[in-house]
Copies of this chain bind each other. A is one copy, B any other.
């Protein structure tokens, strides 16, 4: 079988493994205060274009989302999210386990608008019994979204502007940040991200690392005591330097951006060829996740050789799946997949 189901089928980019081997017998202090972590922080500050940000390394996405959100909210506050947001549907209630409600907004493509956010906040504070409902205390968006879509720079600016108007932090889940920045139709850079939100993370797990997410805190008020939160939430890796080494490798020479672009190129090749064959798609995505709709009979046929991620039934005999490429997807596999889909007729 050839896997196109997600972007974490393989281990790590070989360069990362190489550096882990090279540094293996170095002795360092634990818990993220070693020279590799320090160096990785320096590099990340540089590629973000901001010397004033705090950088912390955590292990995985659910852990990172939970730690960040729990650190920002007061007990009676909730976090605004698209109904399809990862925190709302695929984290087994991790946010709620910290005591906070996810305040979900309708969304057809994974995105939410500045207008909808503002309307929600206004409605809350206009309520006479304001204390009887959860106070919106934070906004969560994912870039790219769980549907492969991305925000434009102007959309993101508008959202951030609403957040600043109400003094509510904006948090960007960047589990696939590189793929969003590499989107063919996108106009957002890492520096833009770092200047248009209060806290975000750069996903490593899905873009070349064995594991690891780099949280970047841009808002001074959110920096204080964040390491306590990491420790309490189980995210403070004893051998913290493993995270430092991986992020050093990813950002030293632009590797992160290169492999992100490669993944997106493969995905768009598949998308464009399928479009030409007449396939339609559930979402308009320019990133590494594509959501084509198959006749069930064709899907059964192609699934003998490839795995995709089931997404949803769209009619009695049609199904949308997610095809996912990654830093590890080979051009050979991409070409073969396209040929095999063509052969379905």
Contact = CB atoms under 8 A, between A and B. Distances in A.
Interface string A258-278: 000000000000000000000
A106 B208 CA distance: 41
Contact of A89 (B62, B89, B133): B133
A235 interface: yes
Interface in A230-256: 230-239, 241-242
A228 B28 contact: no
Contacts of A235: 63, 234
Interface stretch (A69-77, A108-116, A186-194, A279-287): A69-77
A17 to B, nearest CB: 5
Most chain B Cβ neighbours within 10 Å, of A25, A74, A78, A232: A232
A181 B66 CA distance: 36
B24 A232 contact: no
Given A92-B231, A101-B96, A131 B238 contact: no
Interface stretch (A1-9, A43-51, A140-148, A336-344): A1-9
B96 A78 contact: yes
Interface of A: 1-3, 5-6, 8-12, 14, 17, 20-21, 23-31, 59-63, 66, 70-71, 74-76, 78, 89-94, 96-102, 128-129, 131-135, 205-206, 210-211, 225, 227-239, 241-242, 310, 328
